[in-house]
Structure 1
Amino acid sequence: MPHSQDTTPIVLTIAGSDSGGGAGIQADIKAISATGSYACSVITAITSQNTLGVSAIHPVPLKHIESQLDAVFTDLNIIAVKVGMLADSDIIKVVADKIRQYQPKHLVVDPVMVATSGDLLLKRNAIDTLKRELLPLADLVTPNLPEGAALTGGDVPHDEDQMGAMIESLRALGAKAVLLKGGHLEQSDNSNDLLITPSASELIRAKRVMTGNTHGTGCTLSSAIASYLAHGNRLHKAVCLGKQYMTQAISHADELDIGAGHGPVHHFFCGFTNVR
């Protein structure tokens, strides 16, 4: 059932800041707002970043991450949480502890490891911590193909058959569901994602949009799904709605002219989309 309350559902994003505005906290807030929810945020790291890449990462002190989490959870009625860039093991542990403490209704984890530009955003020794502490708490984990390979210890898939071969390994991560994103299969005419639940798997299909302006796609999709969950949609519908929103945001990306590298998607391609 869709969200039935008169109040706008609140979605929290826990992620890093992108000074260029195309990914991270900035993309999350745009996507959550565009899909009809109220966005609040906890910043885990400050990146010096633009459409050309990431030049510096400064993790926020743990005590301040903790105090941000306490501030929003003790005052705001947070329905869904999206987690993005966490940078290191200590930050992952703090976030996981607070998720266990406050127990939001929905948790979507985008296991951000590498930026669109190829820059490493998660220290390699933190992957085990992520798998142990946070992923088992998640309603949905949204890895791209390199992230899926890093989480399972396998090879990066090069076609949809190889994506399917990862299903059991991804289920073993312990999340309620996994959305393995196929955007990296650039030779395909489609950009299909594989939704994996304990009892089934299904391709969520979309035609590939030919554009270089894809900065922040992972942040945007996971935030949109969290927003649609906050409105009361079941997981499958929230994923499908998020995928539709993402496809439109990419389709309209070339209407923007932002930076000299991988530009952002167009979050507000048709104004504010009220899903209620």
Structure 2
Amino acid sequence: MTQPVLLIGGMDSSGGAGLARDLLAVQASGQTARLAVTAVTAQTDRRVLAVEPVAPSLLAAQIEAALEAGIGAVKIGALFNAPLIRVVAALLPDVPVVLDPVLCSSSGHALLDPEGAQALIALLLPRTTILTPNLPELAALAAALGMAPAVEREEIVNALLSRGCRSVLLKGGHDLPSSVSEDVLYETGSPPVAFRSPRFAFELRGTGCQLASALAAGLVMGQDLPEAIRAARCGVEERFRNA
């Protein structure tokens, strides 16, 4: 029997993203999950009304409780501030870690302050098995690294890999116009691997959460990165087809 996935992130009151979407993705993969809430939000599909991060001591207690049962992988989403990031970094078990760098909501509300972005780079990247930024998140990470706005994507990815994360899955859902959605896996010492599927003519919230959580579930099941990515992308594509 596989061990649960620990899902660390925010509660989205609309149910469209965050831990609500994470849990659905893990369960759809046939796996179980433990939850650690970083913040409670009040939001709709169009706007964020309020965000209340939890106390660092409460986050630590949630993670410690989850670890008592054993954890097979960790998926990290919205972290909101540096104190919460320091708690996560201090308590991460030695298992695969999928880090989805949620820096702002789909509606544009900031979900990580500048100090938090620096803490994420310094404390979590060295512990990360795979980082899953979309293109706006990649640009925000480049800014946190002090890189020029016009720098090439591959240069930003290489800078992130040099900070200690083992791989980066760059999601191309925001790369318009195009009839194809392309995600690219970068690993140190290996050529990039592209994953392509048809692009749909509408958007859905929480697809990044879903992809990263399903990817963590695949790693728990012993899949290698390309296999876990393909399975996770299939789940996202099925959700679009059924929307």
Q: Same fold (TM over 0.5)?
A: yes
Q: CA RMSD in A?
A: 1.7
Distance 2:189 2:142 in 1: 19
Q: Determine the structure 1 residue equivalent to 2:60.
A: 66
Q: Would you say the 8 A contact 1:8–1:36 is kept in 2?
A: no
Question: How far off its partner does 1:250 sit?
Answer: 2.0
Alignment coverage as a number of residue pairs: 239
Question: How far off its partner does 1:165 sit?
Answer: 4.7
Q: Would you say the 8 A contact 2:101–2:133 is kept in 1?
A: yes
Distance 1:249 1:95 in 2: 30
Structure 1 alignment gaps of length 5 or more:
1-6, 254-276
> Once the two structures are superposed, what CA deviation does each residue of 1:164-194 show, in whole Å capped at 9, x if it has no partner?
4543223223201011111111211111111
Distance 1:243 1:167 in 2: 21
**Higher RCO (C-alpha under 8 Å, 6+ residues apart):** 1
Q: Give matches, 1:1-276, under 5 Å.
A: 7-74=1-68, 76-99=69-92, 102-103=93-94, 105-153=95-143, 154=147, 162-200=152-190, 201-212=192-203, 214-253=204-243
Structure 2 alignment gaps of length 5 or more:
none
Q: Would you say the 8 A contact 2:181–2:198 is kept in 1?
A: yes
Question: How far off its partner does 1:217 sit?
Answer: 1.0
Question: How far off its partner does 1:155 sit?
Answer: 6.3
Distance 2:148 2:104 in 1: 16
Distance 1:156 1:217 in 2: 26
Question: How far off its partner does 1:152 sit?
Answer: 2.2
2:53 aligned partner, one-letter code: P
| TM score, norm. by length of structure 1 | 0.82
| TM score, norm. by length of structure 2 | 0.93
Measured at CA, do residues 162 and 246 of structure 1 come closer, stay the same or move farther in structure 2, by a change above 3 Å? Answer: farther
